[in-house]
Structure 1
Amino acid sequence: MQVTEISSEGLRREFSVVVPKDDIDRRMNSRLAEVGATANVPGFRPGKVPLPVMKQRYGSAVRGEILEQTIQETIQRALDEKKLRPAMEPKIDLVTFEDGVDLEYKLTVEVVPEIAPIDFSSMELEKLTVEIPDEDVEQSIERLAEQQKTFTVEDARAAAVGDQVVMNFVGKIDGETFDGGSADGMELELGSGRFIPGFEDQLVGAKAGEQKEVNVTFPSDYQAENLRSKVAVFNVQINEVRTSTAVIIDDDFAITMGADNIEALKATVREQMGNEYLQLSRGRLKRVLLDQLADKADFDVPPGMLDDEFASIWKQFEEAKEKDQLDDDDKGKSDEELRERYREIAVRRIRLGLMLSEIGRTNDLTVNQDDINRAIAEQAQRFPGQEAMVMKYYQENPQAMQELQAPILEEKIIDYILELATVTERMVSTEELLADPEESSKADPGGKAKKSKKAKKARKAKKKAAKDKGK
């Protein structure tokens, strides 16, 4: 096999690959012999069919098979010979593949750029922590109790805010009914805000058996575009008025929620809230980490990867535009401005992806079967009562199982960086943790930051190893 570089521009390489005809003939004859061992050809016993006859009957089919097999094998050999790491699937252009001549094709490949090592110990990051106030736990339990409250029919009662009405209604716009504008036996708690503004207010004071005419205007940003800003009239029949009975928050309530007593329920709720806040905190920490990595990235990206990533982003943008769901930042901007912005986003995504991949590769970070099993178990826990079905789904769908690996590996890489970086912790309020990061960055830092002991120990343990690996 002969591999000749014919073009080198940026990260794109083009090669002429020539496979001698003798090699192709050897592959053809070997494969034809395998086929001939079981082929039923009139006048010949299996395994005794002459090669010329086999070529005449099966040559075309076998040549296609040999072509695909040879190209796949020689592509990898060519990449290994030239010590290239492709960034994406190479492109093949067939030049010649005929009887009696060499196989020749053009191989076009975009390679992974050189990525400079990063000293992770020089990175400084801040982790937000929250001490959950007792009142937050109590409010969460109150919301649980609110969801468990019951309603009782009360005859002759005038509906008030907090009551539940059972109703039939028919809505019309310009005298015509519309999809989704009618229902029978609908239950609605007044004051819940489930219906469009003004609807629930006009039912306050209504009694069972009464007919009410409700006049409303659909919001300008209503989900159904055909109803936006439209004036509608609803004819409402009140069937029942029900009053609510509050749930008493005590040990009995806790037992209905699966806890031994109210203190155990509080502990469970606090733990759940703590886990949610931990995830939020990690998400913000990860965002800052990725921002710092992006700032350190100063390398070209493979043009084919950029084109594919931009096309994916732009498709999402056009779908959002068609549904009138554009972000406020995108409204009023020209396509040229938006294309430039989204191309920058595509570059950032690719650079981060390549950097994380390189960090994982050079530090031998991989996903093992135990990692995958844990991820599948976590997915199964999200569907109580259907765990077996979830497990079976992943066992029978290799592609779905493969899709689990990328986020697992990414989290492993993030953990590796965090163990080497300087991570400080800062106590904040739940409001600051839940606030938009850009807004919270303007707030008074407050609190006393402290070095993460885990990060400090990890740096001492891993710093030398990381440097030995080029980090």
Structure 2
Amino acid sequence: MQVTVEATGELERRLTITLPGSDFESKVQERLRSMVPRIKMDGFRPGKVPYKVVERRYGSAVRQEVSDEFVRDSFRDAIKQESLRPAGMPQIEPPQLEAGESFAYTVTFEVLPEIESVKLEGIKIKQPRAEVTDKDIEGVLKKLQEQHIEWEPMERPAQEADGVTITYHGSIEGKPFPGGSKENFFVILGKGTTLKEFEEHLIGVNKGQELTFEITFPEHYGNQELAGKKASFAVKVISVTAPRLPEINEDFAEKLGVKEGGVAALRQEIKASMTRNLEQAVRDRVREQIMDGLLVANPTTLPISLVKEETSILLEQAKNNLAKQGVNPQEISLDESPFVEQARRRVALRLIFSTILEKQEIKADQDKIKQRVTELAASYEDPEEFSRWIFSDRERLSEIENAVMETQIIDWVLDQVEVLDKSMSFEEVVNPQISSAKEKVQD
């Protein structure tokens, strides 16, 4: 086998692979002869069809079949011989299958960039240091109260923060419009869930009151068919209710699933949950900093084919998410450009991580894999059944192994770089937007 390699770009390679034509012809003839005993054809006894007849009938298909095998096997041997690492699917120019000539074809593909070693210079990690305080726990309790608000009927005019249940019918120029009518519609005044101008007409209404008013839809209203138009609404007030926060007591704790221990046990569960969230948020922040640092310290040319492939995956995931939200798949049309940068980031990190795994000879820690499966299984009704389900499927287990190896890579990098403690509050750690805004103010 003769192989010539031509660099047609920074990462693109063009291989010309030549095999003796006699080898190809011999394989074709061997395949055809092996078929003779099995061929049944009118006018001939079973297994007695002449070779020439079999060749005329099946020769073309067999030549293509053997050609595919030759290409597959020789390409695999060629990239091994030339120490090439293809990225993405190769583009093969089919060989010309003329009898007696050499079996030659060309194949074009990109190769993975050579990363001799992963550089860590300049990477500094700010590791958050935070704890769950009593104030943090009180904040969660307050949110739980708000999630379980009880609405008390009122015999007074509606005011800000009240809940008003109404039935309304809207029209534009005397004609109803799609979505313009609702029965028993509940709106919290001042919450901003409906148009501000609409809510303002409900301040001061009483139970049983009927009223008519006009509003003008904003110019940039989500429904363009209504944007900028004036609409008339006929409204009937069904009820006016005021919010009442439930007391934090044993009944409240039970309602949240704490059967024993009352409020004290509820606080303990909240703290334990917040602590787990905090630890995960710290890991996520450190992980993101390490990834950002690795990308800055190790710029590399990326195979276009891998970026396109990853972009397609992200695009398909976005479409599936929209479909799950009820959007008609036939109506989904997304521009791929917003996904390209994320795809480039993923491909670059995959190459860097792969190099670290290879150079540092990191293998998936089996104990950590079992620990990870146990952690995941703990949230299921039958943890043992879940664990068996994971370990029984190679693909599912592979996802766990990849996650564990990524954690091992992050830990390895963390041991090599400078780590600075950064004092933060619980909210700043778990809500990146808060800490980001604070950093901008400090800057």
TM range (shorter): 0.7 to 0.9
Q: Are residues 1:418 and 2:419 paired?
A: no
Q: 1:34 to 1:420 in 2, by over 3 A?
A: farther
From 348, 352, 355, the counterpart of 1:358: 355
Q: Are residues 1:280 and 2:281 paired?
A: yes
2:22 matched to which residue of 1?
22
Q: 1:61 to 1:368 in 2, by over 3 A?
A: farther
Q: 1:35 to 1:223 in 2, by over 3 A?
A: farther
Q: 1:193 to 1:385 in 2, by over 3 A?
A: farther
Counterparts of 1:221 and 1:416, CA distance in 2: 51
Q: Are residues 1:60 and 2:60 paired?
A: yes
Deviation at 1:294, TM superposition (A): 1.9
Counterparts of 1:389 and 1:226, CA distance in 2: 53
Aligned ranges for residues 259-298 of structure 1 at < 5 Å? 259=258, 260=260, 261-298=262-299
Give the residue type in structure 2 aligned to 1:195: T
Deviation at 1:192, TM superposition (A): 3.2
Tell me the percent identity: 28
Aligned residues: 421
Structure 2 unpaired stretches of 5+: 319-336
Give the residue type in structure 2 aligned to 1:355: I
1:15-70 Cα offsets, whole Å, 9 max, x none, are 11123223323433454456555443335565554443332222233333323222
2:195 partner SS: coil
1:249 matched to which residue of 2?
248
Q: 1:62 to 1:400 in 2, by over 3 A?
A: farther
2:425 matched to which residue of 1?
429
Deviation at 1:389, TM superposition (A): 12
> Given that residues 117 and 355 in structure 2 are in contact (C-alpha distance below 8 angstroms), is that contact kept between their aligned partners in structure 1?
no
1:98 matched to which residue of 2?
98
1:200 partner SS: helix
Counterparts of 1:112 and 1:175, CA distance in 2: 66
Deviation at 1:110, TM superposition (A): 1.5
> Given that residues 11 and 111 in structure 1 are in contact (C-alpha distance below 8 angstroms), is that contact kept between their aligned partners in structure 2?
yes
Deviation at 1:396, TM superposition (A): 11
Q: 1:245 to 1:316 in 2, by over 3 A?
A: closer
Counterparts of 1:64 and 1:293, CA distance in 2: 47
Give the residue type in structure 2 aligned to 1:137: I
Deviation at 1:348, TM superposition (A): 5.4
1:423 partner SS: strand
Counterparts of 2:45 and 2:436, CA distance in 1: 80
Counterparts of 2:186 and 2:132, CA distance in 1: 36
| TM-score, normalised with respect to structure 2 | 0.77
Counterparts of 2:256 and 2:387, CA distance in 1: 27
Q: Are residues 1:73 and 2:73 paired?
A: yes
Give the residue type in structure 2 aligned to 1:426: K
1:120-148 Cα offsets, whole Å, 9 max, x none, are 49743111122223122112112212222
| TM-score, normalised with respect to structure 1 | 0.73
Q: Are residues 1:233 and 2:232 paired?
A: yes
Deviation at 1:399, TM superposition (A): 7.7
2:331 matched to which residue of 1?
none
Q: Are residues 1:41 and 2:37 paired?
A: no
> Given that residues 197 and 216 in structure 1 are in contact (C-alpha distance below 8 angstroms), is that contact kept between their aligned partners in structure 2?
no
Q: 1:40 to 1:348 in 2, by over 3 A?
A: same
1:203 partner SS: coil
> Given that residues 169 and 235 in structure 1 are in contact (C-alpha distance below 8 angstroms), is that contact kept between their aligned partners in structure 2?
yes
> Given that residues 40 and 47 in structure 2 are in contact (C-alpha distance below 8 angstroms), is that contact kept between their aligned partners in structure 1?
no
Aligned ranges for residues 245-394 of structure 1 at < 5 Å? 245-259=244-258, 260=260, 261-305=262-306, 350-365=347-362
Deviation at 1:8, TM superposition (A): 4.9
Structure 1 unpaired stretches of 5+: 318-338, 446-471
> Given that residues 4 and 16 in structure 1 are in contact (C-alpha distance below 8 angstroms), is that contact kept between their aligned partners in structure 2?
yes
1:224-255 Cα offsets, whole Å, 9 max, x none, are 34444544333222223344443221122112
1:452 matched to which residue of 2?
none
2:159 matched to which residue of 1?
160
Give the residue type in structure 1 aligned to 2:418: T
Counterparts of 1:168 and 1:387, CA distance in 2: 48
> Given that residues 123 and 294 in structure 2 are in contact (C-alpha distance below 8 angstroms), is that contact kept between their aligned partners in structure 1?
no
Counterparts of 2:409 and 2:256, CA distance in 1: 38
Counterparts of 1:132 and 1:416, CA distance in 2: 28
2:330 matched to which residue of 1?
none
> Given that residues 165 and 190 in structure 1 are in contact (C-alpha distance below 8 angstroms), is that contact kept between their aligned partners in structure 2?
yes
Deviation at 1:157, TM superposition (A): 4.4
Counterparts of 1:30 and 1:389, CA distance in 2: 52
1:284 partner SS: helix
Give the residue type in structure 2 aligned to 1:275: R
Counterparts of 2:420 and 2:116, CA distance in 1: 26
Give the residue type in structure 1 aligned to 2:417: A
> Given that residues 125 and 417 in structure 2 are in contact (C-alpha distance below 8 angstroms), is that contact kept between their aligned partners in structure 1?
yes
Give the residue type in structure 2 aligned to 1:180: G
> Given that residues 120 and 297 in structure 2 are in contact (C-alpha distance below 8 angstroms), is that contact kept between their aligned partners in structure 1?
no
2:411 partner SS: helix
2:75 partner SS: helix
1:408-463 Cα offsets, whole Å, 9 max, x none, are 65444323322433323222124543354654445669xxxxxxxxxxxxxxxxxx
Q: 1:416 to 1:49 in 2, by over 3 A?
A: farther
Give the residue type in structure 2 aligned to 1:143: K
2:76 partner SS: helix
> Given that residues 205 and 237 in structure 2 are in contact (C-alpha distance below 8 angstroms), is that contact kept between their aligned partners in structure 1?
yes
1:41 partner SS: coil
Counterparts of 1:387 and 1:223, CA distance in 2: 46
Q: 1:310 to 1:250 in 2, by over 3 A?
A: closer
Deviation at 1:71, TM superposition (A): 1.6
Deviation at 1:83, TM superposition (A): 0.5
Give the residue type in structure 2 aligned to 1:105: Y
Q: Is 162-171 or 226-235 further displaced after alignment?
A: 226-235
Q: 1:412 to 1:197 in 2, by over 3 A?
A: farther
Counterparts of 1:398 and 1:235, CA distance in 2: 61
Q: 1:395 to 1:22 in 2, by over 3 A?
A: farther
> Given that residues 146 and 246 in structure 1 are in contact (C-alpha distance below 8 angstroms), is that contact kept between their aligned partners in structure 2?
yes
Q: 1:308 to 1:252 in 2, by over 3 A?
A: closer
2:211 matched to which residue of 1?
212
1:25 partner SS: helix
> Given that residues 29 and 51 in structure 1 are in contact (C-alpha distance below 8 angstroms), is that contact kept between their aligned partners in structure 2?
no
1:329 matched to which residue of 2?
none
